[in-house]
Chain A
Amino acid sequence: MPRLIPPWTDMPKFEYAPAPESRAIVSLRESYGLFINGEFTPGVDGRAFKTISPATEEVLAEVTEAGPADVDRAVAAARQAYERTWSVMPGRERAKYLFRIARIIQERARELAVLESLNNGKPIRESRDVDIPLVAAHFFYHAGWADKLEYAGYGPAPKPLGVAGQVIPWNFPLLMLAWKIAPALACGNTVVLKPAETTPLTALLFAEICQQADLPPGVVNIVTGAGETGRALVTHPGIDKVAFTGSTEVGKEIARACASGPRKKLTLELGGKAANVVFEDAPVDQAVEGIVNGIFFNQGHVCCAGSRLLVQESVYPEVLASLQRRLATLRLGDPLDKNTDVGAINSAAQLAKIRELSEVGEAEGAQRWSPPCELPVKGFWFPPTVFTGVSQAHRIAREEIFGPVLSVLTFRTPAEAVEKANNTPYGLSAGVWTDKGSLILWMASRLRAGVVWANTFNKFDPASPFGGYKESGYGREGGRHGLEAYLDV
């Protein structure tokens, strides 16, 4: 029996002076209209809502709530831009607009990162080093496709679909926007995009970037609002394509809505309950970093988060002790502080959901553990949490928590690991940790998941197709595969 180290006692936590990134780079307006036909315009019925910083509950700005009449206007603008401008423009010209956008994103990267962290609550280290660089990369990657679509494997002259209605979540606000808008535009479609109600600000800043890039009016339209706005958009008879990233529950609702009426091409990127499988020969320190990155990256607000840790029994005590020791060094707090590892939960509603499922975990008999961790008084916060003694039947092993909560299970043989990993209606991602290349490929071929990370986790790249099996949705985003979602094939 390996030594069980009292995990939070033997490692001093270094004290760091606060190192906040300056907010001065962001200039917020008091209120924002809808971005329709290249301009910010007020909503028809004058409704608005406030958007806040989840770390402090400070109101950042007021945002227009788009009603059905506004969605109509946006779809009409997108249709007109599609027919008169964008679909008839040579691909090489579309490409240059996308390259322009990518460059402006790079030029304004710091501003975008600060605004993303302000409105979402994610650590600036992540928005600065992961989100925004990937946003620029997505526009660069897809820009190059715009005049090469005939080589993408979808026939000699693949055609765009028309107007795309796109609804995105709050966990990676600008990155999800890029995943949706870049391929749509590259393929010759125009878009109406609805950002999540809690994180509209970087999408509105992106609208300004479209203006700076002189993107023709109506090619990109941004309508802000909540579920009702999203419903009006995806059920709108004037759109040809629906792309949604969000919960499986809403995804199913959209699939039902699209089952009748005018045919719309549909792609869905939904929930997950990924297994992160650690074999006994894995380098423990590296695996622990991967486990932490898998579930505590972005406060666990990641559809492909490694929320089920499967550890081979022989190394379970060692891995758990090492994991607990590592978690005790995580810094939770001000998202704008450059030393922060764990930021704020995005909303009060999400915090309530995380709390509820964690309480269910305890009530069902799993053991709950968090490192000593002081939570700020204001804002929405939840400490990194680990459940041990979890069985496959527990709700915390079956349901997506979408928060910094890890469920730990064990296995003995590779076959048992596969069986347990696949025992879920989801199939978005999985992780494998081992030194053995053949075991990586053996596992990869048996895991029913759209993305398998070996000795790494939560890696993304515009060239790498991303998307799920089973109830994690259908369609792929990224790579040559992702183009299919926006082509009439």
Chain B
Amino acid sequence: MSDTANGRLAVRKTYKLYIGGAFPRSESGRSFVVTDHKGGFLANAAMASRKDARDAVSAARKAFPGWSGATAYNRGQVLYRVAELMEGRRAQFIAEVRSADGLGARQAEAAVDAAIDRWVWYAGWSDKIAQVRGAANPVAGPYFNFSLPEPTGVVAVIAPEASSLLGFVSVVAPAIVTGNTVVALASERGPLPAVTLSEVLATSDVPGGVVNVLTGRTAEVAPWLASHMDVNAIDLAAAPADLADDLATAAAENLKRVVRSTEADWTVTPGLQRMLTYLETKTVWHPAGT
């Protein structure tokens, strides 16, 4: 992030929102100062508004049929490709995670490696979750009765504050691997690694709109996502404690599926609970006969 190297003035990056595969500034024209852990200036990030949140939900809804209709094999490869591209930007991610999370070099390295590996872990789930979660049900009648998991739709996630990259990946990947599309609100204090990740997503094979990334004030944007009638599920595990109950109450208006439990440690291999919360079970009674 150094401004000069070898006497050359560095070209700084503009950190924008990521909506529908494009990188707009906030429609509100607002930005906010992002600093490192010692208070040093890092960048002006876009400060998302209600309108940006709504645009992001529209983009996610538009992307849902294509992404949920892709084969599980295809989605698995797309997620794996994200890991490949992150690996290529490893040094940049380590530098950004150091600033954002206030970690030492080795810790930041470990966090980035774990984030990359998490994509790989989830990539492998795409074509297995239906076998683990599905069933052929022995009903008392002439039917082939089976149950399959299906994605619930648009998932809003409030990404963890303190784990700007690993935490972000750990809440986004379990939603999209099964075919959901996501609107993610990045860590308010350390949003930059999530923005850089969105650049990785844009240049990987993840279709535009599958992941949408907002930066800004959680307390301002999260209520619009929680009350949005076209959002099917919301991850509130990382929501600020004073906000979480109100967000869950708003989420009840269209019976969103809600994640509330908090992860103690993002480095631990996750269980299935996040994936399962964003999956519906469909049961089909298919006739058998001549």
Measured in the bound complex, the distance between the Cα atoms of B249 and A461 in whole Å is 34
Contact with A along B207-232 (1 / 0, CB 8 A): 00000000000000000000000001
Query: At the interface, yes or no: A481 with Cβ under 8 Å from chain B?
Result: yes
Interface set, chain B 109-138, CB cutoff 8 A to A = 132-133, 135, 137-138
Closest to A471 in B: B255
Interface size class of B (residues with CB under 8 A): 20 to 34
Is A480 interfacial (CB 8 A cutoff)? yes
CB of A260 closer than 8 Å to a CB of B:
yes
Convert B133-148 into 0s and 1s, putting 1 for each residue whose CB lies closer than 8 angstroms to a CB of A.
Answer: 1010111110101010
Interface centre among A452, A464, A476, A489 (most CB of B within 10 A): A464
Which bracket fits the contact residues of A? Answer: 35 or more
Q: A461-B139, A465-B137, A480-B135 are in contact. Are A450 and B254 (CB under 8 A)?
A: no
Interface residues of A (CB under 8 A from B): 137, 153, 248, 251-252, 255-256, 259-260, 263, 268, 270, 425, 437, 440-441, 444, 449-456, 459, 461, 463-467, 469-471, 473-474, 476, 479-481, 484, 489
Known A-B contacts A259-B245, A463-B145; the reply to A453 vs B255 at CB < 8 A is no
**How far apart are A40's CB and chain B's nearest CB, in angstroms?**
35
Q: Is B253 on the interface with A (CB-CB < 8 A)?
A: yes
B145 contact set on A, CB distance < 8 A: 461, 463-464
> Which residues of A lie under 8 Å from residue B287 when comparing CB positions?
454-456
Q: Is the interface of A mostly helix, strand, loop or mixed?
A: mixed
Known: A454-B285, A481-B147. A469 touches B135 (CB 8 A): no
Q: How far is the CA of A370 from the CA of B260 in the complex (A)?
A: 49
CB neighbours (8 Å) of B283 from chain A are 450-452, 464-466, 479
Q: Which residue of B lies closest to A463 (CB)?
A: B137
Known: A464-B145, A470-B255, A474-B257. Contact between A456 and B152, CB under 8 A? no
Quick check: B286 and A454 within 8 Å, CB to CB? yes
Q: Which residues of B contact A459 (CB under 8 A)?
A: 139, 141, 143, 285
Chain B interface residues (CB < 8 Å from chain A): 132-133, 135, 137-141, 143, 145, 147, 152, 232, 245, 248-249, 251-255, 257, 260, 273, 276, 280-287
Residue from the list A461, A467, A473 in contact with B140, Cβ < 8 A = A461
Minimum CB–CB distance for A461 against chain B, Å: 4
Chain B interface, >50% SS class: mixed
Q: Which among A437, A474, A484 has the greatest number of chain B C-beta atoms within 10 A?
A: A474
Given A450-B281, A459-B285, A474-B257, answer yes or no on A464-B137 (Cβ-Cβ < 8 Å): yes
A463:B138 contact, CB within 8 angstroms: yes
Query: Measured between alpha carbons, how far is A278 from B132 in the docked complex, in Å?
Result: 33
Q: Which of B135, B137, B273, B284 contacts A461 (CB 8 A)?
A: B137
Name B247's closest neighbour in chain A (CB-CB). Answer: A259
Output the least CB separation between B127 and chain A (Å). Answer: 16
**From A437, A444, A474, A479, contact of B255 by CB (8 A):** A474
- Cβ 8 A contact of B252, one of A255, A461, A489: A255
Q: State the 6 A-B residue pairs at the shortest beta-carbon distance, nearest first.
A: A255-B252, A259-B248, A260-B245, A461-B139, A259-B249, A256-B252
Q: How far is the CA of A451 from the CA of B139 in the complex (A)?
A: 14
Sample of 12 more A-B contacts, CB < 8 Å, known A248-B255, A268-B255, A440-B286: A263-B260, A437-B286, A444-B284, A450-B283, A451-B284, A453-B285, A454-B284, A456-B285, A459-B143, A470-B255, A471-B255, A479-B147
